[in-house]
Structure 1
Amino acid sequence: MGIIKFLIIAIIVLWVIRLLLRIIFPMVVKNAFSKMQQQATGQQQRPSRPEGTISIDHMPKKEKRKGNSDNLGDFVDYEEVK
């Protein structure tokens, strides 16, 4: 008797879960897709600037190079052998 009661309750619980997933899952997916679409359209909207203008966001620091051509290495003269 206990096994039959357990099986009936398990079947009812699984049926309810399946029913809820059929109702809730499409709404969750629809909501997620609408959020992604809103984010994509938000990224595409940029402030309008006249064509040909340049905007620099980051300027790298200038490196001071202390060195001369003596430290560049040795020049090796070669002849092409045929």
Structure 2
Amino acid sequence: MFRYLIIIICILYIVQYIFKMLLPAIFRGLINNVQQNAQQNARQQYYQQQPPKQPEGRVKVDYIPEGNKQKLPDTEGEFVDYEEIK
């Protein structure tokens, strides 16, 4: 009986030592896989959000130069003085 108890205790210590060595490596591998998947998803989302590139030779202007803006005439609206009442 005592012999079996010693064998069980030795087996438990060996299993505990093996788990101390293997579990960090297993978790490291899992974490690396999750990180790689997250990076791939981020890349896919980044490329999907990019505006499509225009074919070569086409020009698109997204702004209006300052000189071409229409100015409001002086008769449009007026400034009203006000006093703050407390």
Q: What's the TM-score, normalizing by structure 1?
A: 0.55
Q: Which residue of 1 aligns with 2:40?
A: 42
Q: Percent identity among equivalent residues?
A: 20
SS in 2 for 1:45: helix
For 1:7, the aligned partner's letter is L
Unaligned runs of at least 5 residues, structure 2: 53-86
**Structure 2 equivalent of residue 5 of structure 1:** 3
Residues 6-34 of structure 1: per-residue CA shift (max 9 Å, x gap): 01100110000000000000000010000
Show the 5 A alignment for 1:1-82.
3-46=1-44, 47=47, 49-50=50-51
Structure 1 gap ranges (5+):
52-82
Which one-letter code corresponds to 1:5 in the other structure? R
**CA-based RMSD:** 1.5
Give the TM-score of the pair, scaled to structure 2.
0.53
Flag as ranges the 4+ runs of structure 1 deviating above 6 A.
none
Amino acid at match of 1:32: L
Distance in 2 (alpha carbons) for counterparts of 1:34 and 1:21? 19
